[in-house]
Amino acid sequence: MDHLSMWEATAGERKTRSTLVDEKHCDVVIIGGGFSGLSTSYHLQKMGHQTIVLEKNAVGYGASGRNGGELLTGYHGPMEAFAQKKGFETAQLMWELSLDSIDLVESISKENGIACDLVRQGDIRPAYKASHLDSFKRDQEYLAEKLNFHEISVIDRPEMKAELNTDFYHGARINERGAHFHPLKFALGLADAVEDLGGVIYENSEATNIQKDAANKVIVATTKGRVIADEVVVVTNAYAGNLSKTLKKSVIPVDSIMIATEPLTQEFMENLIPQNRAVSDSKNLLYYFRRTADNRMAFGGSGRAFSKRAQKLLFDRLREGMITVFPQLKDARVEYRWGGKVGFTQDFLPYIGQLEDGTHFAFGYCGKGAAMAVMAGKVLAETISHPERVNNPLKKENLRPIPFHSQHAKGVGLMKFYMALQDKYGK
Ligand SMILES: Cc1cc2nc3c(=O)[nH]c(=O)nc-3n(C[C@H](O)[C@H](O)[C@H](O)COP(=O)(O)OP(=O)(O)OC[C@H]3O[C@@H](n4cnc5c(N)ncnc54)[C@H](O)[C@@H]3O)c2cc1C
Residue 418 has pLDDT above 70, yes or no: no
CA-nearest of 359, 353, 427, 345 to 394 is: 353
* Gap between the Cα atoms of 140 and 144, Å rounded: 6
Packed helices 88-111 and 183-196: angle between N→C axes, nearest 10 degrees: 80
pTM > 0.85: yes or no: yes
- Ligand 1 atom nearest 205 alpha carbon: 43
For residue 64, the CA-to-ligand 1 centroid distance in Å is 4
Residue 305 has pLDDT above 70, yes or no: no
AA letter at 93:
L
User: What pLDDT is attached to residue 304?
Assistant: 72
CATH number at residue 106: 3.50.50.60
pLDDT band at 302 (very low <50, low <70, confident <90, very high): confident
User: What pLDDT is attached to residue 36?
Assistant: 98
Answer yes or no: is 1 within a domain: no
Q: How far is CA 278 from the centre of its chain?
A: 14
The residues near 120 (Cβ < 8 Å, ≥ 6 apart) are: 102, 106, 178, 179
- Ligand 1 atom nearest 180 alpha carbon: 8
For residue 35, the CA-to-ligand 1 centroid distance in Å is 7
Please give the C-alpha separations between residue 53 and each of 34, 245, 306, in angstroms, as whole numbers.
10, 21, 32
- State the average pLDDT over residues 280-290: 94
* Whole-number average pLDDT of the chain: 94
Residue 421 has pLDDT above 70, yes or no: no
- State the average pLDDT over residues 119-140: 97
**167-170 contacts at long range (C-beta below 8 A, 24 or more positions apart):** 168/126, 168/324, 168/325, 169/126, 169/127, 169/128, 169/281, 170/126, 170/127, 170/128, 170/129, 170/130, 170/132, 170/133
pLDDT band at 1 (very low <50, low <70, confident <90, very high): low
AA letter at 199:
G
Answer yes or no: is 276 within a domain: yes
Name the burial class of residue 330, with classes exposed (0-12), middle (13-18) and buried (19+) by CB atoms within 10 angstroms of its CB. exposed
Q: For residues 155 and 163, is the Cβ–Cβ distance under 8 A?
A: yes
- 61 Cβ inside 6 Å of ligand 1: yes
Answer yes or no: is 93 within a domain: yes
Percent of the chain, pLDDT > 90?
88
User: What pLDDT is attached to residue 63?
Assistant: 97
Ligand 1 pocket mutation, candidates 237, 286, 380, criterion most atoms within 8 A of CB: 237
Answer yes or no: is 146 within a domain: yes
* Gap between the Cα atoms of 288 and 165, Å rounded: 15
DSSP per-residue letters across 91-136: HHHHHHHHHHHHHHHHHHHHHTT-----B-S-EEEE-SSTTHHHHH
Enclosing domain of residue 145: 6-425
- Ligand 1 atom nearest 68 alpha carbon: 8
Lowest mean pLDDT among 91-95, 322-326, 330-334, 406-410: 406-410
Stretch (H or E) spanning 379: helix 369-385
Helix, strand, coil % over all residues of the chain, rounded to 5: 40, 25, 40
User: What pLDDT is attached to residue 406?
Assistant: 73
Q: Take atom 9 of ligand 1 and give the residue whose Cα is closest.
A: 70
Q: Take atom 33 of ligand 1 and give the residue whose Cα is closest.
A: 32
Name the burial class of residue 2, with classes exposed (0-12), middle (13-18) and buried (19+) by CB atoms within 10 angstroms of its CB. exposed
For residue 210, the cross-strand partners are: 220
User: What pLDDT is attached to residue 409?
Assistant: 66
Residue 417 has pLDDT above 70, yes or no: no
User: What pLDDT is attached to residue 188?
Assistant: 98
User: What pLDDT is attached to residue 405?
Assistant: 77
Stretch (H or E) spanning 336: strand 334-344
Answer yes or no: is 69 within a domain: yes
Please give the C-alpha separations between residue 255 and each of 7, 14, 56, 136, 182, in angstroms, as whole numbers.
18, 26, 20, 26, 20
Residue 198 has pLDDT above 80, yes or no: yes
pLDDT band at 247 (very low <50, low <70, confident <90, very high): very high
Answer yes or no: is 125 within a domain: yes
User: What pLDDT is attached to residue 404?
Assistant: 72
Answer yes or no: is 202 within a domain: yes
- Ligand 1 atom nearest 37 alpha carbon: 25
Query: Using the 8-state DSSP alphabet, how is residue 63 labeled?
Result: G
Query: Using the 8-state DSSP alphabet, how is residue 299 labeled?
Result: E
For residue 308, the CA-to-ligand 1 centroid distance in Å is 23
- 91 Cβ inside 6 Å of ligand 1: no
Q: In this structure, is the dihedral angle defined by the CA atoms of residues 9, 10, 13 and 19, taken in order, positive or negative?
A: negative
Across 114-132, b (16+ Cβ under 10 Å) vs e yields: bebbbbbbbbbbbbbbeeb
Q: For residues 362 and 235, is the Cβ–Cβ distance under 8 A?
A: yes
Q: In this structure, is the dihedral angle defined by the CA atoms of residues 393, 397, 403 and 409, taken in order, positive or negative?
A: positive
Per residue in 213-235, pLDDT (tens digit) is 999 999 999 999 999 999 999 99
* Gap between the Cα atoms of 170 and 190, Å rounded: 39
Per residue in 260-277, pLDDT (tens digit) is 999 999 999 999 999 999
For residue 20, the CA-to-ligand 1 centroid distance in Å is 22
Q: For residues 226 and 219, is the Cβ–Cβ distance under 8 A?
A: yes
For residue 22, the CA-to-ligand 1 centroid distance in Å is 27
* Gap between the Cα atoms of 98 and 101, Å rounded: 5
For residue 364, the CA-to-ligand 1 centroid distance in Å is 10
Query: Using the 8-state DSSP alphabet, how is residue 48 labeled?
Result: T
Q: How many domains does the chain have?
A: 1
- 352 Cβ inside 6 Å of ligand 1: no
AA letter at 398:
N
For residue 238, the CA-to-ligand 1 centroid distance in Å is 7
Q: For residues 328 and 251, is the Cβ–Cβ distance under 8 A?
A: no
pLDDT band at 303 (very low <50, low <70, confident <90, very high): confident
User: What pLDDT is attached to residue 273?
Assistant: 98
DSSP per-residue letters across 198-253: T-EEESS--EEEEEE-TT--EEEEESS-EEEEEEEEE--GGG--SS-HHHHTT-EE
- Ligand 1 atom nearest 65 alpha carbon: 29
CA-nearest of 146, 157, 149, 145 to 175 is: 149
Q: Take atom 53 of ligand 1 and give the residue whose Cα is closest.
A: 340
Answer yes or no: is 61 within a domain: yes
Packed helices 88-111 and 132-147: angle between N→C axes, nearest 10 degrees: 90
Per residue in 382-416, pLDDT (tens digit) is 999 999 989 999 999 999 888 877 777 666 666 77
For residue 138, the CA-to-ligand 1 centroid distance in Å is 32
pLDDT top residue among 347 and 91: 91
- 301 Cβ inside 6 Å of ligand 1: no
Number of residues that this document lists for the chain: 427
- 207 Cβ inside 6 Å of ligand 1: yes
- 123 Cβ inside 6 Å of ligand 1: no
